[in-house]
Amino acid sequence: MPSYMSPSSHSETESVKYVHTISEAGRLLPSASQWNSIEIDFNLVPQSSSEYGSLPSRYSKSFEYELIITDKQYFKRFLYISVSVVLLILVLILLVELLPHKHSRHGSSKNLTLAVNQALTFFDAQKSGNYPKNSPVKFRGDSGLQDGNSSTPPVHLVGGFYDSGNNMKFTFPTAYTMTLLSWTVIEYHQKYDDIQELGHVGIAKNDMSCWERPEDMDYERPVSICDSSASDLAGEIVAALSAASLVFKEDKDYSGKLVKSAEKLFEVATKEEPDRQGTYTRSDDACGRESSSFYNSSGHTDELVWGGTWLFFATGNVSYLGYATDAFDAAKSNETSIDNGILYWNNKLTATAILFTRLQFFHDLGYPYENAFGESSEMTDSLMCSYLGQNWDKTPGGLILQRSGNEAQLQFAATASFLSKLYSDYLQVLVRSGVNYILGDNPMKMSYMVGYGEQYPTQVHHRSASIPWDGNHYSCEEGERWFKSKDPNPNVVVGAMVGGPNHFDNFTDERGQPVFTEATISGNAGLVAALIALHHPPRHASHDKNGTHLGLDKTGLFENILF
């Protein structure tokens, strides 16, 4: 995860403020050394409890046969054929044992390991601040090193992640991205470890009018500051901090700091009077006014419920679960119809319902939570059935359209794949269809993840990718030339999932049409979540009582809860 997001230091009587960025670049996922793998010895050759081969049978008898060879030439031919057949059988056995097996249960020849690797690499291309020297992305460097200096008083805002192909940093979608990625590490850490990716996973007018690499920025970088009345922003940051604390659980000091910051922020956010609680992008508040045209929040109750739920998992304190379950009905009633059943940066209600359902399945706490748990279970069942039914429109190529209009549809398909796979492996066919569509199984025969497959978008709407990394400084005017160029990007932003096709499976690979070619960190988080959930089980995954091994950690999320 990137460095943890925490509120600025204030006394309890002061209004807590936090800013629209992440304070440091930090890690995306924990080091592989922070997880202890459990080795299981699989005895592929059955071992007998008694050596029957050494015991003579009480029914054994000896017989004598006399073999007469009448034609030596036929006998030699018989021996050659017999030896050849035996050798052929041995070769076939060796091939079966040594060649890679393609299990039919996986249902696809897609290289999901490569897909996960590349999807995570996209986040390397989005990093701001002091750029790591060992990054796999070679067309990026130090940028945004003065971020926060324009604030009064100045604050340290160097680091974090740029959003999409822009040079802006938004806390709201970044916090959602970190929560979602942390969730996948908690649930599927064995899969990440198996493919050696645990170590990987660490608004100005000028910004929009200037097509310029982040390394070349020389214009003012204004800072938006919010107080604790920005309830949705606070709730999402609490969720990110809490989920990250479970990812970094072996680093007790760091994990403890994450939890402490989350608890403090949740306390001040939930203590606000109801009439002061609201969204960070409300029109009368300068906090997120600039963000409203990019990530306009439609409500705040779902984020507070989401934050309270993750804080319960992080601490085991049932008071946080009590808050979340008590406020669940309010969050449900405030959900907009267009967001119903969708998980993305603006709506966390569906994901919360699945977490509640998970609790009910494995650790039903009973009173006073049963109403919220029961309602969540019904919501989840209905959602899963809707994926198989006719509730959603589909493109001719089979992509489920969960939102009307011209929005980037793949982010919704990715999170739907993640949630359905997490909830039930019986939805295997549906789950894989969304990811396979993204990776190239579509009418355009286009992989919508850059760098994956033989054909993928070449004009990604991305400043760093579209301007040559040649040591020269390019001004806004010079950058505009690259923006309008019809040539492929000089730099390949590997792993970026673009917006995707329209409702008729048609895709336009043009830099100037971001609805098709723009990639976002929140969209890629959903892709990573779907890919790791679909990935083959780790080689050393433990078997449950039913004999299956999914690579799912059934108890990791409940580690801090006493039953």
Report helix angle 171-194 to 410-423, nearest 10. Answer: 50
Q: Rounded CA gap, 28 and 1, in Å?
A: 3
Which member of 20, 300, 461, 535 is catalytic? 461
CATH topology of domain 17-31+105-558: Glycosyltransferase (1.50.10)
| Helices and strands (H and E) in the chain: how many | 17, 4
Beta strands in 178-311 (DSSP E): 225-227
- Sequential pLDDT tens for the chain (563 residues): 333 333 333 444 344 454 444 333 334 533 333 322 222 222 222 333 333 333 333 333 334 444 455 566 666 676 677 777 767 676 666 655 555 444 434 445 678 899 999 999 999 999 999 999 989 999 999 999 999 998 888 899 999 999 988 899 999 899 999 999 999 999 888 889 889 888 777 533 456 668 888 999 887 888 888 888 999 999 999 999 999 999 999 999 999 999 999 999 999 999 988 888 999 988 566 788 778 889 899 899 999 999 999 999 999 999 999 999 999 999 999 999 999 999 999 999 999 999 999 898 888 888 999 999 999 999 999 998 888 766 778 889 988 888 877 778 999 999 999 998 888 753 455 768 889 999 999 999 999 999 999 999 999 999 999 999 999 999 999 999 999 999 999 999 999 999 999 999 999 999 999 999 999 999 999 999 999 988 877 776 555 544 456 677 878 899 899 87
For this structure, is 461 an active site residue? yes
Question: Which residue type occupies 315?
Answer: T
Identify whether the C-beta of residue 7 lies closer than 8 Å to the C-beta of residue 264.
Answer: yes
pTM: 0.72
Surface-to-core class of residue 422, CB atoms within 10 Å of its CB (0-12 exposed, 13-18 middle, 19+ buried): buried
Measuring CA to CA, how many Å separate 379 from each of 100, 354, 369, 373, 383?
Answer: 41, 8, 16, 10, 6
DSSP-assigned states of every residue in 243-257: HHHHHTTTSHHHHHH
Could you tell me whether strands 393-394 and 400-401 are parallel, antiparallel, or unpaired per DSSP bridges?
antiparallel
Backbone angles phi, psi at 143, to 5 degrees: -160, 160
Angle in degrees, CA 538, 540, 543, rounded to 5: 95
SS3 content of the chain, % helix, strand, coil (to 5): 45, 5, 50
Alpha helices in 68-157 (DSSP H): 72-98, 112-125
Q: What residue segments make up the domains of the chain, in order of their start?
A: 17-31+105-558
